Structure 1
Amino acid sequence: MARFADPFTDFERAFGRLDRTWPTGMMPMDAYTQDDNFYLKFDLPGVDLDHIDISIEKNVLSVTVERPHENTEGVTWAMRERPTGRHTRQVRIGDMVDVSHVDAAYDDGVLTVVMPLSEETKPRRIDVNRKVLEASSA
């Protein structure tokens, strides 16, 4: 029986599990492909551009942000939900992207990371010949 490829399973296998070091919702992220690029978008409201660090090591992209602690001397909190301190989110990107050409932009609290798909992962057409192929003798 033929097994058909599930594109969602293939995507998950290629890019790995989207690892989190922040609790869910603190650094929400979208991940998708469009045309020949893989996109990651992170919601980082209130984070200063100078406090954002992006790095790639061993096919893992890390986004580290820091929200400085405010001077809260004399403050009695009724509620405090906005995270402060240093936080990192890691995404396993696999071998499907060209890590030498990664771009990032930050606008209105949204960090967008764009990574071109590697040539090996782009769809390509394979011509079919009418002639029977003979086994090569190696």
Structure 2
Amino acid sequence: MLARNGAPGDLDRLTQDLAQVTDAAGTVIPADAWRDDEALYLQFDLPGMDRAGIELITERDTLTLTAERPSPVPAGARPVLTERPTGRFTRRLTLSDALDTASAEAAYDNGVLTLRIPLAAHAKPRRIAVSGGAPKIPGGPAKQLPAPSGPRSAPAG
């Protein structure tokens, strides 16, 4: 995440988590992340994985990705060359509370897992309408806001 457009620290935490790209076995799970005004998007490279062997779980502010690639070497055969990593892979990310993880969607296509996590309603930008007249103050009559202090310019005219 090169640009930050949210609460200070939220995306910085995610960026730090993305920098930790290895599991206990030292296997790298490459990832990219970006966001727009509607959602956070994450993509993970998981080539050769069976979709049924991929699991995503969110618990509180943690996203856990687990994937498994079995060994292609049949039982009883002796491997001659084994360069592709096999076994169970795990990646954990700390997520911001500005995300609606209950509405997250994931798709796996051509070895790439794409996750879309919408921004929570309270985190989305919204326009506030400006009306005329004095503001309504609960529990009292309408009051004028204090005039700004400092030098005033003459009205245009």
Indicate whether the TM-score tops 0.5.
Answer: yes
Could you tell me how far apart the structure 2 residues matched to 1:46 and 1:12 are?
37
Offset, 1:74? 2.3
Once the two structures are superposed, the pairs formed by residues 1-138 of structure 1 within 5 Å of their partners are 7-8=3-4, 13-15=9-11, 16=13, 17-18=16-17, 19-22=20-23, 23=26, 26-71=28-73, 73-77=77-81, 80-127=82-129, 131=134, 132-133=144-145
* Equivalent residues of 1:36, 1:122 under 8 A apart: yes
CA offset digits 1:64-123 (Å, max 9, x no partner): 00011233632333xx33111111011111101111101000111110010110111111
Instruction: Name whichever structure is richer in strand by fraction.
Output: 1
Moved more, 120-129 or 34-43: 120-129
Could you tell me how far apart the structure 1 residues matched to 2:43 and 2:6 are?
21
Q: Which residues of structure 2 form unaligned runs of 5+?
A: 135-143, 147-157
Could you tell me how far apart the structure 2 residues matched to 1:20 and 1:50 are?
22
* Equivalent residues of 1:20, 1:90 under 8 A apart: no
Task: Specify the SS of the correspondent of 2:107.
Answer: strand
Please tell me whether Structure 1 or Structure 2 has the larger radius of gyration of its CA atoms.
2
Q: Which residues of structure 1 form unaligned runs of 5+?
A: 1-6
With normalisation by structure 1, the TM-score equals 0.76
- The alignment's C-alpha RMSD in Å is 2.7
Could you tell me how far apart the structure 2 residues matched to 1:12 and 1:86 are?
34
Identical aligned residues as a percent: 38
Task: Specify the SS of the correspondent of 2:10.
Answer: helix
Could you tell me how far apart the structure 2 residues matched to 1:9 and 1:116 are?
15
Moved more, 39-48 or 9-18: 9-18
Offset, 1:10? 5.2
